Structure 1
């Protein structure tokens, strides 16, 4: 379950970054006036820097070429978007395709949008109102606005549709802050969940949504390690302890949603009916109503992504079981959709202070990764899934449950 996307072919000009910045400039010439009622001022400079050339002159706003290696930035003083053409762009192209290069540059252009809206000046007057993480979140949101526009379709074969959005989200997962960085840190850009959330808001709702972001209406989910032991484990519980803890906790959360329901424990026996393996590493058994886990497959998810990726899958199967307990269909696309949503609602409970079983740094990012790279959480009790749905949609549905609670996930009866 690697976050790396398959390699993509290069652009027609051989320079995806140059194509992308030209397209981004053109997009904001139309989007900015439509959203804000004022003309767009073209960005003065787009500057690729060949960091492998020791004799290359220093780019704007940094003292040495070495300071740019692996980086891209927007410099308000020079009104310039600058990037490392020798290391950063090839790496993003290899790992995430054209979408990875484009979303990185779209984020930096997003900072130029902020400058044109006067956010730089406002931040200098009221730094507490505009902390670094809010500015970075807004830039991710503006990147989502840009990638939703048809004008990016010619860039390196890029098309503004859900598969490309998945690659862009995977790139944002790769750009996340190191574990344990808190929202108040001056260097904070956001964890993967928050960055992906901001991108999706811009992609779906437009530039006005990004401009309206404040610390009052935007919650950040980054958190510190709860203990030295948690830090030493990098936030991951050992597998046996994890399974015992999530089973006990999930039974306590899902049970009250169907009064009188005897919530089943996790088992190893397997399901007797058709579709028992098609659901993925964790299965809901329609015969008997139990949950079965393939420990080998589950251990692989735990090892390759992290413990909360596995919890995400467990919670989704408890979601399917809940549907059955409520007399609702466990087969069909609405069942899979409800399961993902209920997984988000359950996750929200793990963010509450004072619980014995709570999230660690990186847990939400692991949920994003497994939802982007696999459709297991969205499968119904027979393993059926919407083949037209993409990771972008699953993450959005998970966020919906997290923000709006379990009632929003269940069909009206």
Structure 2
């Protein structure tokens, strides 16, 4: 967050997004319809320059399944028959390049020459030659660092660009629209794999957490220009687009990526650049402590028909107070004392230091949302409560994004803040010390946050 030099013009805390549509976060299945996946052979699916490394076979399997998916889906959603890539596929080993494996036209075709060495550290689609190329050394690093299924998702993203080469790139010319739409298309394909449609790949549920974590590596640098000719979007922008495809399919990918699409990516101001958009720890505690009761004090009566009684927020060091609802966890809500507690030493300070100021804001908002549920007569200690609290946290943080607290505080959101909330959920939200005995994956928690941020309170179950 950034502190403003002067107080902004008063704006009431809006009851924003209250009428959103509820969506369920759905888990992927892991069993293909046709049985165990089988490798596609080099003869069935040739790739120029391919080696015998397992990562190349994995990429080939993904590309073959992508062709199967789009052969079926393109006519239904885009009204024409699918046409295979005219220029085919190219693999390069940047750590041991053998230029003799490639034609004189290099990677691509005569009209758009790319030297094999220029593929290093990259995967791309060339619309001139209708070609997908990748560096298998880079794919191996992604697999090692973020799990094997990030590799197929990268292939699916590039295949999405190939489909855009058929149905059309963004008329606005904005790279961020094209890149996030390709993420959406990759999400729709991933759901098809999760539902058992693929012949050559399978997807295990925990791998979705790894995929979402991998998007952190693939996002634009925080504070960079969203109108740059190569902009891909913030972490939240890219993850949200992937969820669009995974949750609601190709129709959303086709129709929801126009000029009015919301993107959270933004450039840093000069003060933001110096501190990377992070306010002081004590300032965040003060600001969140003021805005949480203001926001829920306004929306709670609308949702429940009762007045909201704001709980206290207190920190502790390592050992939680002895109170039902805490059970020595790092955060929680104590109904008997009507107090939200957060472990400063083991959670609040590390989250702030490792991720950023909005990770701290998220840590404070989550148990506060449980207090909101308790006042509404709803559960606070099961999976439904957890997902609802995460959703409500997304709804609350959307108010920061829309500057609805300008009348309360001389502060506003900074680039990367919403990304930090997603990072907190993936790193800390799945820890039993934060949410005990909850069957939600990190993928589901991020999905619940996104639902609250975009769709609002009705999607969070507060009025049930």
Identify the TM-score tier after normalising by the shorter chain.
Answer: 0.7 to 0.9
TM-score, length-scaled by structure 1? 0.85
User: Partner of 2:340 in structure 1?
Assistant: 291
SS in 2 for 1:47: strand
Range moving further from structure 2, 313-322 or 22-31: 22-31
CA drift at 1:407: 4.0
Q: Is the 8 A contact 1:344 1:400 kept in 2?
A: yes
CA drift at 1:336: 1.6
Distance 1:245 1:152 in 2: 48
Distance 1:367 1:65 in 2: 39
Distance 1:376 1:390 in 2: 7
1:46 aligns to 2:89 (yes or no): yes
Question: 1:273-352 residue pairs with structure 2 within 5 A?
Answer: 273-277=323-327, 279=329, 281-297=330-346, 298-352=348-402
User: Partner of 1:401 in structure 2?
Assistant: 452
User: Partner of 1:268 in structure 2?
Assistant: 316
1:85 aligns to 2:128 (yes or no): no
Q: Is the 8 A contact 1:131 1:184 kept in 2?
A: yes
Structure 1 pair 33–407 and aligned structure 2 pair: CA distance change class (3 A): closer
Q: Is the 8 A contact 1:283 1:291 kept in 2?
A: yes
Q: Is the 8 A contact 1:340 1:377 kept in 2?
A: no
User: Partner of 2:417 in structure 1?
Assistant: 363
Q: Deviations over 1:329-387 (max 9, x none)?
A: 3233322222111101111000123733322111111212222344359999xx54432
**Bigger relative CO (Cα 8 Å, ≥ 6 apart):** 2
Structure 1 pair 372–154 and aligned structure 2 pair: CA distance change class (3 A): farther
Q: Which has the larger radius of gyration?
A: 2
Q: Is the 8 A contact 1:401 1:408 kept in 2?
A: yes
User: Partner of 2:286 in structure 1?
Assistant: 244
Q: Deviations over 1:158-205 (max 9, x none)?
A: 41x532222222222210000112322222111111111111111122
CA drift at 1:328: 3.1
Q: Is the 8 A contact 2:325 2:335 kept in 1?
A: no
Distance 1:277 1:370 in 2: 21
Over the aligned positions, Cα root-mean-square deviation in angstroms equals: 2.6
Q: Is the 8 A contact 1:137 1:190 kept in 2?
A: yes
User: Partner of 2:236 in structure 1?
Assistant: 193
User: Partner of 2:73 in structure 1?
Assistant: 31
TM-score, length-scaled by structure 2? 0.77
Structure 1 pair 203–76 and aligned structure 2 pair: CA distance change class (3 A): same
Distance 1:407 1:204 in 2: 18
1:107 aligns to 2:176 (yes or no): no
Q: Is the 8 A contact 1:264 1:289 kept in 2?
A: yes
CA drift at 1:115: 1.3
User: Partner of 2:107 in structure 1?
Assistant: 59
User: Partner of 2:63 in structure 1?
Assistant: 21
Gaps of at least 5 residues in structure 2 are: 1-37, 40-52, 301-306
Structure 1 residue runs of 4+, over 4 Å off?
376-380
Distance 2:327 2:339 in 1: 14
SS in 2 for 1:317: helix
Distance 1:307 1:362 in 2: 10
Gaps of at least 5 residues in structure 1 are: 1-10
Which one of the candidate residues 69, 94, 105 is aligned to 2:144? 94
Distance 1:310 1:152 in 2: 40
Which one of the candidate residues 184, 188, 210 is aligned to 1:167? 210
Distance 2:272 2:224 in 1: 14
Structure 1 pair 405–208 and aligned structure 2 pair: CA distance change class (3 A): closer
